[in-house]
Amino acid sequence: MRNEQKADSARNLLQLQPLESLQLPKALDGSEGSNRSPGAALIEASTDLQAIQTWLMEYQGSPHTLRNYRREVERLLLWGLRERGKPLSSLIREDFLAYQHFLADPQPHQLWVGARKPRFSPDWRPFQGALHGVSIRQALVIINSLLTYLVHAGYLTANPLALMRRRTQFNPTTPKNSVERFLDQESWQKVLEQIDSLPRDSKRQEAHYQRVKFLFTLLYLLGPRVSEVSNHNMGSFIESRGNWWWRVTGKGNKTAQIPVNDEMLSALANYRTYLQKSPLPAPSDATPIALSLGGKKGIGANMVYRIVKKVMLDTAEQIQAEFPHKAEKLRLASTHWLRHTSITHQADAGIELRYLNKNARHAKLETTAIYLHSEDAAWHEAMQSHGVGEIKPKK
């Protein structure tokens, strides 16, 4: 009872602050959480905050993912502390059911919701509004990832979200054997039309257009992860025995070579010519792949993400009246969707699975196989011959 009283007293004094500013009393820091594992842990964390920071460090190479993950675990941690009087490591299944409802209507509103402010601002709030549908499911997927990690690390005994009866209730992906976060050919063409319509009247506008055109060509033809775009220079394009390749070091610090076809090579040459460089790079060329508008320095993964997101949103706006369902999907699209789109369209073009696997740099063929939609298309086409027939009126 004394510990519960200490926790209640501590939560009443708790101020909603970002993770980096949060200071918690022992009663709420998770060091004595009811779900803490009694065995040896694989991480050094002794409090929930330390455990969360260890997990977030796994995503340092993906800035956008890092921000999304931090936001969701930050919200959960603060909610558990303030509304349930519990540290993360004491939350149980019923708490997560309550949290799921809270996400759809964060109350009290004045405490949890506010306009976007810098994280150091006293007016900062965890939410800018209620979450809906996909956003709620995505939040729970991220939280599930954290809890699974902490169980595997020996920090938590169990993952309360594993008790959810139907995982599809919060999993935003479609069935395991398919990928849906890609653009169909019609939507992709609309994106290209939007890029082609970008203004080019000023020097800055022309620089923006050239960068966007090259960036989308690269993302579509080579299917890189966003961190790979910002971490490589143009010297990573190499010639070997008369063919051009992109030598990329990616996930797991593994290096691979991807074929650079004539269209990609032409796009690279055109962009470099615009930058007043030789059409093709030498192996020693340290020019970043993605450049600032001034053309002097590289841009980070966050800027690449923002450029892609802006084009997707603008395209959605343009096609909203005619294709509202496609516009809705485009609003969800991000840089990683272009990776999925690249691999899916390669599969649709008939490129063999073994080559798809090498292009995608997946460890297993089974992972690449989920991008094969040709059987679905044939299945759907076959069903076109099946109908109810003509209904004739009675005479």
Identify whether residues 215 and 340 lie together within a single domain: yes
Statement to judge: residues 151 and 231 lie in one domain: no
- Please identify, among 169, 199, 229, the residue that sits at the C-terminal boundary of a domain: 169
| Strand pairing class (243-249; 237-240) | antiparallel
Residues 207 and 65 in one domain: no
Residue 273 lies in a domain: yes
d(C-alpha 32, C-alpha 24), whole Å: 13
Spans of the chain, pLDDT less than 70: 1-13, 134, 165-179, 363-395
Task: Give the C-alpha separation, 141 to 13, whole Å.
Answer: 30
pTM of the model: 0.53
* Alpha-carbon gap, residue 357 to 369, rounded angstroms: 8
Cα dihedral 263, 268, 272, 278 sign: negative
189 shares a domain with 165: no
- Least Cα distance to 102 among 72, 135, 79 occurs for 79
| Residues in a beta bridge with 247 | 257
Residue 380 placed within a domain: no
By the 8 A CB rule, do 99 and 127 touch?
A: no
Task: Report H helices in the chain.
Answer: 2-13, 48-57, 63-79, 93-104, 109-112, 133-152, 185-196, 203-222, 226-231, 262-274, 301-319, 324-332, 335-348, 353-360, 365-369, 374-383
DSSP reduced 3-state for 240 = strand
Enumerate long-range contacts of 117-125, CB under 8 Å, 24 or more apart: 119/18, 119/20, 119/21, 120/18, 120/21, 124/16, 124/17, 124/18, 125/16
Q: Decide: 269 and 299 in contact? Cβ < 8 Å.
A: no
Residues 190 and 278 grouped into a single domain: yes
Q: Are residues 138 and 196 in the same domain?
A: no
* H-helix or E-strand spanning residue 237: strand 237-240
pLDDT of residue 318: 94
pLDDT at 370: 57
Reading the block at residue 202, the tokens are 């000023």
CATH number (domain holding residue 300): 1.10.443.10
Do 278 and 310 lie in a common domain? yes
* 84 and 95 Cβ atoms separated by less than 8 Å: yes
**Residue ranges of the alpha helices (H) in 203-321?**
203-222, 226-231, 262-274, 301-319
Look at residue 40 in the predicted model and tell me its pLDDT: 84
Examine the domain organization and report whether 209 and 281 are in the same domain. Answer: yes
Residue 87 within any structural domain of the chain: yes
Claim to verify: residue 254 and residue 333 sit in the same structural domain: yes
Q: Is 388 a domain residue?
A: no
SS3 393: coil
153 plus 228 within the same structural domain: no
Q: Are residues 264 and 291 in the same domain?
A: yes
Q: Are 178 and 372 in contact (CB under 8 A)?
A: no
User: Is 142 inside any structural domain?
Assistant: yes
Q: What is the DSSP letter of 391?
A: -
H or E element in which residue 255 lies = strand 255-259
Inter-residue contact 220 to 342 (CB < 8 Å) = yes
In a domain, 312, yes or no: yes
Same domain, 331 and 205: yes
Number of domains in the chain: 2
State the residue range of the domain holding 367.
185-373
Q: Is the previous residue joined to 87 through a cis bond, with omega within 30 degrees of 0? A: no
Confirm whether 389 is domain-assigned: no
Residue 277 lies in a domain: yes
Pick the closest to residue 84 from 74, 95, 94 (CA basis).
95
Q: Cβ atoms within 10 A of the Cβ of 378, count?
A: 10
Is the sign of the CA dihedral 73, 75, 76, 81 positive or negative?
Answer: positive
Closest CA to 332 of 168, 170, 133, 186: 133
Sign of CA dihedral 289, 337, 67, 30: negative
